[in-house]
Structure 1
Amino acid sequence: MNATFRRVLSLCIAALSLLPICAQGFPPQLNGTMMPYNFSSTDSIVPWSDDMKPVFINYVARHGARYLSSEKKVESLRHTLHDADSTGTLSDKGRLFMRLLQSVDSVTDGNWGALNATGIYEEQRLGEEMTRIAPDLLAKGEATAVSSYVPRVVMTMYELCHQLARHSTHISVSTSEGRQFDSLLRYFTTDSAYVDYLENGDWKAGYDRFVDTNISASPARSLFTTDIPQGKLRKLTLDMYGVLQSLPAARLEWQPEIWFSLPEYRACWEAANLKHYYQRSVSEYSSVAAAASSALLDDIIRTNDAAAAGKTDGKVAALRFGHAETVIPLFALMRLPGCYYPEGSAESVASEWKDWEVSPLGANLMIVMLKDRVGDTFVSLRLNGRWLTMTSPDGNSYGKIIPWSALRKQWLQYIPTSH
């Protein structure tokens, strides 16, 4: 049994222990950005022929599966349900939800937002996939990795890089993390125009209208035996969804059908999806989110340019690890298929722009730089496990092997001159 087979076998065994505990009839995609990475739909065959050779990998990723990011939502719900219980107005379904919140507390045990066993498995497997895609390239040389300071992101970087180091004793892997990378990986906290848009943007009114029209009060109403204002119930319904959508990634039993009908749960996903779209992508309200990711795209372009010129000083890969808020705007700025929908209405977004396709847990974009026999450079882009077919500005398809000079020119045009 060779080393590669043993690694694949161990990952398959680990996967069996991490199979999601799914609800009947509720697609896991409705958990949106909290959906664990779907390895079952990834492409297993590289799109280039033997006369092309990978010479560099650029990689940008979101952290892997985590526990619920904070106890704020759990505490708010628990306080509301406790008050109802103390006044004798908590229903049987309300008591069930209280027990669910206790389970979340017990399993999380203070590890709010931490990378969990599912996330560790995801990163190990993603590292294994990277070595399978370019085994000769990653057999030696240096891979450099940077991450934001947030512990789950740091751990994501370590897990994937550990897998690269396991692949070959001849590859050098260096890692670095910290607030010095905030402008690159957490620009959603450092770009003043973007921060202002998140706090004060016109998107809020559009989102609120969608919630008022589409979110049912019924799931939250089922928790109580007394009347509660509709607006408060709709907010509670969304909070319930926020807890329930986190359960599969945390390996907790997921049974939304106790409180939600499928259309009600889907409407909550549509609201969450719309909020991600308005806040992080290019929409009718603003392109400031995508513009804020310009420094990250510029870094990718410069790194690719060095690889095309053969000036990498022995580096074979540049890896960057961040958040959903890192990758969603970047993918929109790059105009990757499925990630850029600039003129969507609130009603059409869910059919054209899906957060679980753009940024599931473990989301990643791998850019493989290729050279042919005469030294011309090309790139292939792999988004969340699928090789992308890119098109030129005039609508002609490059296919999955894209001349680097052409794609470089496009991406430079998308970067605002003010950045």
Structure 2
Amino acid sequence: MKRTVRAGSVLALAVLLLAAPGTALAHDDTHNYTTKTPYSPQERLRDYEAPPRGFVPVFTESVARHGSRAMSDSEDGDAVLAVLSDAQAKGGLTHLGAALAPQVQALLDAGASIGYGNLSGLGASEQRETALRMESRLPGLFADIVARQRPIEVETSGVKRAVASADAFTGGLAAGNPALTGLIQAPVTNKDQLYFHKQPQNADYQAYADGDPDLLAALARIDEQPRTAQVARHVVSRLFTPAYAAGVPTADQVSFARSLFELYSVAPDLRVEAPRANLDPFLPAADAAWLAYLDDAEEFYQSGPAFAGRDITYKMAAPLLDDLFAELEAKAGGTSAKGAVLRFTHAEEVEPLAVLLQLPGSTKQARLDQPYTYANNPWRGASVAPMAANIQWDLFAKGGTYLVRMLYNERETAFPPSCHPIARGSVYYRLSELERCFDR
């Protein structure tokens, strides 16, 4: 539990996948799973803007979060089970409360079966399906990659779930077009760009995340709102008898409710391993919404836009943004033979990159005297960095002119307002224009 300071036949298959369960075109925000929300592509192939006449795709690159995974460890599950066991021994469980332990145990068993923190079956499917959709969007590019034997470079953070995500994604590419198999390079680790929040050069960020006074104060102010205790009390009142609940201190009620939320939010990610596990009945939507807000607040301040006037949470993504440009420029300059570069990383890298790219809902900062809330800020973990979140840049060429299109969770997305597309409302930008507006 994170507590502060605490992508012929390929096209047909992709179309089927777009209609498959789990690939809806909108996040189910009513369930409040925050950054643990399973992945959904956000636009259909038929709705994409066609490239200008004569332009063909010559390169693609992406930055993707790992797919759905198991919980990081058993801490939250163990904590919830301990309270349930104590209550059971004292006759303090309601009928609903008595049904919770088997659900929690099923989730813990599922997590242990694949390894805590590791990619789940759903996570692997998310990556394979995204790869197939990438092929269906860019058939000409992948045909050229095969014809010209262009390499597909793969980079990861080196963390097991990111490596497994890369393997699932490239496995999807190869399944869609077996001729790509020999062109997909073995994954290489690049921690400086894909796990930068943990690297020595970002010690200033680590110090911020560990104990910045403004961060501590903002999160304490959010956590200590009366609504937090009220929600925890309501959660506890449904699961335990009045007599037992009365003996649980408020702080312990809050800890229990937050641990239960962590399990609630990860349950959908383990639907393959624990298909019958469902914590929805134990956490009413209104309560889950508040607990989701507390979780989103931590993400917002730790890896999102955070405080107005400060860039500590996102400036460290600059080398990754530089690399995105460097790959485009090398391709356009004729010094790269690569057909694609695929990167697999984590929410802590996707969220800062989203700020630098000014992606929708990713940039609004909070004032010191006005903490982040759902009412005053559009930032939501479920939209900014759900499981398998991805940012893709496609390079198109016509003669010596190069255009770039960006997809964010597979939705065509504009670059920052200071960048001017080739026509008003278009999602295509000259590479030279992007270089200008990003001051390269």
TM > 0.5 fold call:
yes
Comparing 72-81 with 272-281, which one deviates more in the overlay? Answer: 72-81
Comparing 228-237 with 33-42, which one deviates more in the overlay? Answer: 33-42
Could you tell me how far 1:255 is from its partner in structure 2?
4.8
Match status 1:145 vs 2:154: yes
Q: How many residues align?
A: 401
8 Å Cα contact 1:42-1:384 kept in structure 2: no
Match status 1:134 vs 2:143: no
* Counterpart secondary structure, 1:264: helix
Structure 1, residues 120-174: CA drift from partner, whole Å, max 9, x if none? 2111111111111221212221110011222211111011112223315156110
- Cα distance, 1:379–1:11 mapped onto 2, change above 3 Å: same
Q: Which position in structure 2 is the counterpart of 1:174?
A: 185
- Cα distance, 1:399–1:342 mapped onto 2, change above 3 Å: farther
Could you tell me how far 1:44 is from its partner in structure 2?
3.9
Q: Which position in structure 2 is the counterpart of 1:120?
A: 124
Structure 2 Cα separation of the partners of residues 210 and 306 of structure 1: 46
Comparing 253-262 with 280-289, which one deviates more in the overlay? Answer: 253-262
Q: Which position in structure 2 is the counterpart of 1:110?
A: 113
Q: Which position in structure 2 is the counterpart of 1:53?
A: 56
- Cα distance, 1:119–1:394 mapped onto 2, change above 3 Å: closer
* Counterpart secondary structure, 1:208: helix
Match status 1:280 vs 2:312: no
* Counterpart secondary structure, 1:402: strand
- Cα distance, 1:104–1:302 mapped onto 2, change above 3 Å: same
Structure 1, residues 325-382: CA drift from partner, whole Å, max 9, x if none? 111111112212222112464224675111111111110001011223x422221100
Structure 2 unaligned residues grouped into runs of 5+ = 1-7
Could you tell me how far 1:7 is from its partner in structure 2?
3.7
Structure 1, residues 187-244: CA drift from partner, whole Å, max 9, x if none? 1111101111111122232122222213212113433332122222122211111100
Q: Which position in structure 2 is the counterpart of 1:376?
A: 401
Counterpart mapping for 1:150-165 below 5 A: 150-165=159-174
Structure 2 Cα separation of the partners of residues 395 and 236 of structure 1: 50
* Counterpart secondary structure, 1:273: helix
* Aligned counterpart in structure 1 of residue 388 of structure 2, from 346, 357, 362: 362
Structure 2 Cα separation of the partners of residues 113 and 234 of structure 1: 24
Q: Which position in structure 2 is the counterpart of 1:389?
A: 414
Report the residue type matching 2:75 in the other structure: K
Could you tell me how far 1:64 is from its partner in structure 2?
0.8
Comparing 259-268 with 155-164, which one deviates more in the overlay? Answer: 259-268
Report the residue type matching 1:236 in the other structure: F
* Aligned counterpart in structure 1 of residue 289 of structure 2, from 250, 253, 266: 266
Structure 2 Cα separation of the partners of residues 42 and 107 of structure 1: 33
Structure 1 unaligned residues grouped into runs of 5+ = 21-25, 414-419
Identical amino acids, percent of aligned pairs = 21
8 Å Cα contact 1:84-1:90 kept in structure 2: yes
Report the residue type matching 1:200 in the other structure: G
Structure 2 Cα separation of the partners of residues 43 and 329 of structure 1: 27
8 Å Cα contact 2:357-2:416 kept in structure 1: no
- Cα distance, 1:243–1:31 mapped onto 2, change above 3 Å: same
Match status 1:297 vs 2:301: no
Q: CA RMSD in A?
A: 2.6
Match status 1:239 vs 2:259: yes
Match status 1:219 vs 2:219: no
- Cα distance, 1:392–1:292 mapped onto 2, change above 3 Å: same
